């Protein structure tokens, strides 16, 4: 589980910073797919969870500490995406103001 925590945290940071955007069209999902041979679904899920953890500090802290599992995080993120008042899937952004 430590590997998943590290990977998702790294993916979320990279996506937030745009460090995988080597061209105008190469986003984090495409970069994961091309550079790490992940499936489209796996890449989408990694980015979505990474983005969600960027705006859910308590969930991120508990996940990083091993207090909750990846399964727990997936349920939290899925539940949030079903809440009408929240951004649509794939549009998570951290509030930097």
Structure tokens at 44: 């989408």
CA of 94: how far to CAs of 24, 76, 78, 97, in Å? Answer: 21, 17, 18, 9
Judge whether 45 lies within some domain: yes
Judge whether 95 lies within some domain: no
Judge whether 40 lies within some domain: yes
How confident is the model over 20-48, as pLDDT tens digits? 665 555 678 887 888 778 888 888 888 88
Q: Map residue 96 onto helix, strand or coil.
A: coil
Judge whether 87 lies within some domain: no
Judge whether 91 lies within some domain: no
Please report the pLDDT score of residue 21 as a whole number: 61
What gap in Å lies between CA 14 and CA 10, rounded to an integer?
6
Helix (H) or strand (E) holding 40: helix 40-55
- Picking from 12, 11, 6, the residue whose alpha carbon sits closest to that of residue 63 is 6
Contact (CB, 8 A) for 51 and 11: no
Number of domains in the chain: 1
Please report the pLDDT score of residue 71 as a whole number: 92
Judge whether 90 lies within some domain: no
Judge whether 76 lies within some domain: yes
Judge whether 74 lies within some domain: yes
Residue range(s) defining the domain that contains residue 68: 2-17+24-81
Flag whether the pTM goes above 0.75.
no
């Amino acid at each position: 589980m430590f590997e998943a925590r590290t990977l998702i945290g790294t993916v979320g940071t990279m996506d937030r910073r745009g460090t995988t955007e080597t061209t105008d069209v190469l986003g984090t999902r495409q970069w994961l797919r091309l550079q790490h041979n992940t499936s489209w679904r796996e890449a989408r899920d990694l980015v979505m969870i990474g983005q969600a953890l960027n705006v859910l500090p308590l969930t991120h802290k508990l996940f990083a500490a091993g207090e909750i599992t990846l399964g727990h995080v997936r349920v939290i993120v899925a539940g949030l995406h079903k809440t009408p008042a929240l951004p649509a899937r794939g549009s998570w952004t951290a509030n930097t103001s």
